Structure 1
Amino acid sequence: MVEVGDHEAETTPSDLLRRVAEGEEVVITRSGEPVARLVPVRRRARRTFGADRGVFEVPEDFDDPLPDGLQKAFEGG
Protein backbone atom coordinates (compact mmCIF):
# COMPACT_ATOMS: atom_id res chain seq x y z
CA MET A 1 0.00 0.00 0.00
CA VAL A 2 1.24 3.45 -0.86
CA GLU A 3 0.08 6.85 0.43
CA VAL A 4 -0.05 9.91 -1.79
CA GLY A 5 -1.15 13.43 -1.10
CA ASP A 6 -4.23 14.89 -2.73
CA HIS A 7 -2.11 17.18 -4.93
CA GLU A 8 -0.13 14.23 -6.30
CA ALA A 9 -3.37 12.30 -6.87
CA GLU A 10 -4.74 15.22 -8.90
CA THR A 11 -1.60 15.58 -11.01
CA THR A 12 -0.87 11.88 -11.66
CA PRO A 13 -4.20 10.03 -11.83
CA SER A 14 -3.11 7.76 -14.71
CA ASP A 15 -0.06 6.61 -12.76
CA LEU A 16 -2.21 5.83 -9.72
CA LEU A 17 -4.71 3.90 -11.82
CA ARG A 18 -1.90 1.88 -13.40
CA ARG A 19 -0.57 0.97 -9.96
CA VAL A 20 -4.02 -0.04 -8.75
CA ALA A 21 -4.60 -2.11 -11.92
CA GLU A 22 -1.37 -3.96 -11.07
CA GLY A 23 -2.84 -4.89 -7.67
CA GLU A 24 -1.51 -2.15 -5.42
CA GLU A 25 -3.70 -0.21 -2.98
CA VAL A 26 -3.33 3.58 -2.89
CA VAL A 27 -4.42 5.75 0.03
CA ILE A 28 -4.98 9.42 -0.78
CA THR A 29 -4.30 11.81 2.05
CA ARG A 30 -5.08 15.45 2.74
CA SER A 31 -2.85 17.19 5.27
CA GLY A 32 -1.50 13.77 6.24
CA GLU A 33 -4.94 12.31 7.02
CA PRO A 34 -6.34 9.47 4.88
CA VAL A 35 -9.43 10.53 2.91
CA ALA A 36 -9.79 7.87 0.21
CA ARG A 37 -8.52 4.45 -0.77
CA LEU A 38 -8.15 3.15 -4.33
CA VAL A 39 -8.28 -0.64 -4.55
CA PRO A 40 -8.32 -3.06 -7.47
CA VAL A 41 -11.70 -4.32 -8.62
CA ARG A 42 -12.21 -8.00 -7.89
CA ARG A 43 -13.28 -9.86 -11.00
CA ARG A 44 -16.35 -12.04 -10.57
CA ALA A 45 -16.62 -15.45 -12.09
CA ARG A 46 -19.01 -15.61 -15.02
CA ARG A 47 -22.46 -16.85 -14.09
CA THR A 48 -23.77 -19.93 -15.80
CA PHE A 49 -27.44 -19.66 -16.71
CA GLY A 50 -29.42 -22.60 -15.39
CA ALA A 51 -26.71 -23.88 -13.05
CA ASP A 52 -29.29 -24.46 -10.27
CA ARG A 53 -31.93 -26.02 -12.50
CA GLY A 54 -33.77 -28.73 -10.59
CA VAL A 55 -32.62 -27.52 -7.16
CA PHE A 56 -35.97 -25.81 -6.46
CA GLU A 57 -39.44 -26.35 -7.82
CA VAL A 58 -42.23 -23.81 -7.48
CA PRO A 59 -45.04 -25.49 -5.53
CA GLU A 60 -48.48 -25.83 -7.12
CA ASP A 61 -50.08 -23.63 -4.41
CA PHE A 62 -47.58 -20.77 -4.93
CA ASP A 63 -50.31 -18.31 -6.04
CA ASP A 64 -52.92 -19.37 -3.47
CA PRO A 65 -54.08 -16.78 -0.92
CA LEU A 66 -52.21 -16.79 2.37
CA PRO A 67 -53.91 -18.14 5.49
CA ASP A 68 -55.86 -15.36 7.30
CA GLY A 69 -53.49 -15.13 10.28
CA LEU A 70 -50.41 -14.83 8.08
CA GLN A 71 -52.08 -12.30 5.76
CA LYS A 72 -53.01 -10.12 8.77
CA ALA A 73 -49.43 -10.32 10.06
CA PHE A 74 -48.16 -8.98 6.73
CA GLU A 75 -50.71 -6.19 6.80
CA GLY A 76 -49.76 -5.21 10.36
CA GLY A 77 -53.03 -6.42 11.87
Structure 2
Amino acid sequence: MLYLNIYEAKTHLSRYLERLSLGERVILCKRNLPIAEIRPLSKPITQKRPIGLAKGEFKVSGAFFEPLPSDLLSAFEG
Protein backbone atom coordinates (compact mmCIF):
# COMPACT_ATOMS: atom_id res chain seq x y z
CA MET A 1 0.00 0.00 0.00
CA LEU A 2 1.32 3.40 -0.98
CA TYR A 3 0.54 6.63 0.90
CA LEU A 4 0.63 9.84 -1.16
CA ASN A 5 -0.23 13.43 -0.49
CA ILE A 6 -2.51 14.96 -3.11
CA TYR A 7 0.21 17.15 -4.64
CA GLU A 8 2.51 14.15 -5.16
CA ALA A 9 -0.32 12.13 -6.73
CA LYS A 10 -1.23 14.96 -9.13
CA THR A 11 2.37 15.59 -10.10
CA HIS A 12 3.32 11.97 -10.81
CA LEU A 13 -0.02 10.32 -11.62
CA SER A 14 1.24 8.33 -14.61
CA ARG A 15 4.00 6.81 -12.48
CA TYR A 16 1.48 5.52 -9.94
CA LEU A 17 -0.98 4.21 -12.53
CA GLU A 18 1.52 1.50 -13.44
CA ARG A 19 1.71 0.39 -9.82
CA LEU A 20 -2.10 0.37 -9.61
CA SER A 21 -2.30 -1.86 -12.67
CA LEU A 22 -0.08 -4.36 -10.85
CA GLY A 23 -2.59 -4.55 -7.98
CA GLU A 24 -1.17 -2.07 -5.49
CA ARG A 25 -3.50 0.26 -3.61
CA VAL A 26 -2.86 3.99 -3.15
CA ILE A 27 -4.04 5.94 -0.13
CA LEU A 28 -4.48 9.66 -0.86
CA CYS A 29 -3.69 11.97 2.02
CA LYS A 30 -4.35 15.62 2.71
CA ARG A 31 -1.65 16.99 4.98
CA ASN A 32 -0.65 13.41 5.80
CA LEU A 33 -4.19 12.42 6.87
CA PRO A 34 -5.76 9.64 4.75
CA ILE A 35 -8.87 10.82 2.91
CA ALA A 36 -9.35 8.39 0.00
CA GLU A 37 -8.24 5.10 -1.41
CA ILE A 38 -7.53 4.31 -5.05
CA ARG A 39 -7.49 0.64 -5.93
CA PRO A 40 -7.38 -1.26 -9.20
CA LEU A 41 -10.56 -2.53 -10.81
CA SER A 42 -11.08 -6.25 -10.99
CA LYS A 43 -10.28 -7.91 -14.30
CA PRO A 44 -13.31 -8.13 -16.63
CA ILE A 45 -14.72 -11.58 -17.31
CA THR A 46 -13.79 -12.55 -20.84
CA GLN A 47 -15.38 -16.00 -20.96
CA LYS A 48 -18.94 -16.35 -22.15
CA ARG A 49 -21.38 -17.48 -19.50
CA PRO A 50 -22.57 -21.05 -20.13
CA ILE A 51 -26.25 -21.63 -20.90
CA GLY A 52 -28.31 -23.71 -18.50
CA LEU A 53 -26.62 -22.91 -15.18
CA ALA A 54 -29.95 -23.18 -13.30
CA LYS A 55 -31.17 -26.32 -15.08
CA GLY A 56 -33.12 -28.47 -12.63
CA GLU A 57 -33.17 -25.76 -9.94
CA PHE A 58 -36.83 -24.80 -10.48
CA LYS A 59 -39.83 -25.77 -12.56
CA VAL A 60 -42.20 -23.42 -14.40
CA SER A 61 -45.80 -24.57 -14.13
CA GLY A 62 -48.14 -24.53 -17.11
CA ALA A 63 -50.25 -21.83 -15.43
CA PHE A 64 -47.42 -19.38 -16.02
CA PHE A 65 -48.17 -19.36 -19.75
CA GLU A 66 -51.95 -18.93 -19.39
CA PRO A 67 -53.48 -15.46 -19.96
CA LEU A 68 -53.92 -13.22 -16.90
CA PRO A 69 -57.41 -12.85 -15.42
CA SER A 70 -59.22 -9.79 -16.78
CA ASP A 71 -59.28 -7.91 -13.43
CA LEU A 72 -55.52 -8.32 -13.01
CA LEU A 73 -54.90 -7.39 -16.61
CA SER A 74 -56.99 -4.21 -16.26
CA ALA A 75 -54.98 -3.26 -13.14
CA PHE A 76 -51.78 -3.32 -15.23
CA GLU A 77 -53.28 -1.53 -18.22
CA GLY A 78 -55.18 1.10 -16.26
TM-score band, normalised by shorter chain: 0.5 to 0.7
1:58 is aligned, of 53, 57, 60, to 60
Shift of 1:51: 4.0
**1:15 aligned residue:** 15
Task: Figure out how many residues of one structure are paired with residues of the other and give that number.
Answer: 67
What is the CA–CA distance in structure 1 between the aligned matches of 2:8 and 2:52, rounded to whole Å? Answer: 47
Question: Bigger CA drift: 20-29 or 45-54?
Answer: 45-54
* Partner SS, residue 27 of structure 1: strand
Unaligned runs of 5+ in 2: 69-78
User: Structure 1-normalised TM-score?
Assistant: 0.66
Runs of 4+ residues deviating >6 angstroms: none
Larger helix proportion of the pair: 2
User: Structure 2-normalised TM-score?
Assistant: 0.65
What is the CA–CA distance in structure 2 between the aligned matches of 1:18 and 1:31, rounded to whole Å? Answer: 24
Unaligned runs of 5+ in 1: 66-77
* Residues 4-43 of structure 1 aligned to structure 2 (within 5 Å): 4-43=4-43
Q: In structure 1, what residue type is equivalent to 2:32?
A: G
What is the CA–CA distance in structure 1 between the aligned matches of 2:34 and 2:52, rounded to whole Å? Answer: 43
What is the CA–CA distance in structure 1 between the aligned matches of 2:60 and 2:48, rounded to whole Å? Answer: 22
